[in-house]
Amino acid sequence: MTDKLPENNFPAGYEVPKVWTWDKGNGGTFASINRPIAGPTHDKELPVGKHPLQLYSLATPNGQKVTIMLEELLALGHKGAEYDAWLIKIGDGDQFGSGFVGVNPNSKIPALMDRSTPEPTRVFESGSILVYLAEKFGAFLPKDLKGRTEAMNWLFWQMGSAPFLGGGFGHFFAYAPMHIKYAIDRYAMEVKRQMDVLDRHLADHPFLAGSEYSIADMATWPWYGRLALNQAYGDAGKFLEVDTYKHVQRWTAEIAARPAVKRGCMVNRVSGDPADQLPERHDASDFETRTADKLATA
């Protein structure tokens, strides 16, 4: 195909090699922590607090899914959901420490250790953690087969769709070392299609699984709700005209108003307003006494 001649590629002259090799100088945000192999880079044990549930995370959208779930469980009165949330600084490579890799061999946050079981149970991948907690506490997952299946449908939709929003659109729109029109157009079109999928569904349903707020909403809101609030990737919301998705906006605002969601979004957060940052969480009182602004003046 003539359009794939080296002179037509970007950068001009690029030819796909027979075998890929790692270019450590490829640049871009997060380049310093990306690598083509797994496993630990250094020995470091993970801290362990006083609660059975030990969370190791950062307030990315995937991290917020789990802290929202834990705060919602506590709001329902599930005292067994008390947890310690330890900060994993992915920019510093904390996720490649031997202790973290022992909990999640994929070196991605969030990762959870449940020490209430006869042998400590590790749980990794945010979707798996949500299902584990929902089943452990019998909450936020419909008990009837149809409702449960619909919640799982949307949970897996989110797990499969969000990489196109984050690693696809978000990367090329905000983090890549240069703007590539083809890449931005490709992923912008896909994210707008996803928003339309959500908008059409939410036109007839209060929540993703139907009438019941569930782990499907907790998984999806930190990604698509954040985008709907124009809080993702700079001005991405304006670029994608998120205000036009009226039903997504309704759903977003309703979930954003939940007190447990507000608390969950603060945990392991290290950017933005210091009053909204709770780098580590070990007790419910920490929201009042150990936010970043209070620690700075202590």
Whether 155 and 260 map to the same domain: the answer is: yes
**Locus of tokens 């790692």:** 22
- Contact between residue 57 and residue 63 where contact means Cβ atoms under 8 Å apart: yes
The boundaries of the domain holding residue 186 are: 145-264
> What is the distance between the alpha carbons of residues 173 and 183, in angstroms, rounded to a whole number?
9
Closest to 269 in 3D by CA, of 239, 295, 238: 295
Which tokens hold the place of 27? Answer: 């640049």
Whether 69 and 170 map to the same domain: the answer is: no
Q: Which runs of consecutive H residues, i.e. helices, occur in the chain?
A: 61-75, 98-103, 126-137, 145-163, 181-202, 215-220, 226-228, 236-239, 246-256, 259-266, 286-289, 292-297
Closest to 249 in 3D by CA, of 199, 200, 209: 199
Whether 134 and 272 map to the same domain: the answer is: yes
Whether 259 and 272 map to the same domain: the answer is: no
Whether 245 and 159 map to the same domain: the answer is: yes
Q: Is 60 part of any domain? A: yes
Whether 154 and 296 map to the same domain: the answer is: no
User: The domain that contains 182 carries what CATH number?
Assistant: 1.20.1050.10
Q: Is 29 part of any domain? A: no
Residues of 91-101 as b/e, b for ≥16 C-beta within 10 angstroms? eebbbbbebbb
> What is the distance between the alpha carbons of residues 250 and 27, in angstroms, rounded to a whole number?
39
Q: Is 224 part of any domain? A: yes
Whether 131 and 279 map to the same domain: the answer is: yes
User: The domain that contains 121 carries what CATH number?
Assistant: 3.40.30.10
Q: What are 245-298's pLDDT values in tens digits?
A: 999 999 999 999 999 999 999 999 999 999 999 999 999 999 999 999 999 998
Q: What are 79-127's pLDDT values in tens digits?
A: 999 999 999 999 999 999 999 999 999 999 999 999 999 999 999 999 9
- Considering only residues 238 and 6, tell me which one the structure prediction assigns the higher pLDDT: 238
| 3-class DSSP state of 181 | helix
What is the number of domains present in the chain?
Answer: 2
DSSP 280: -
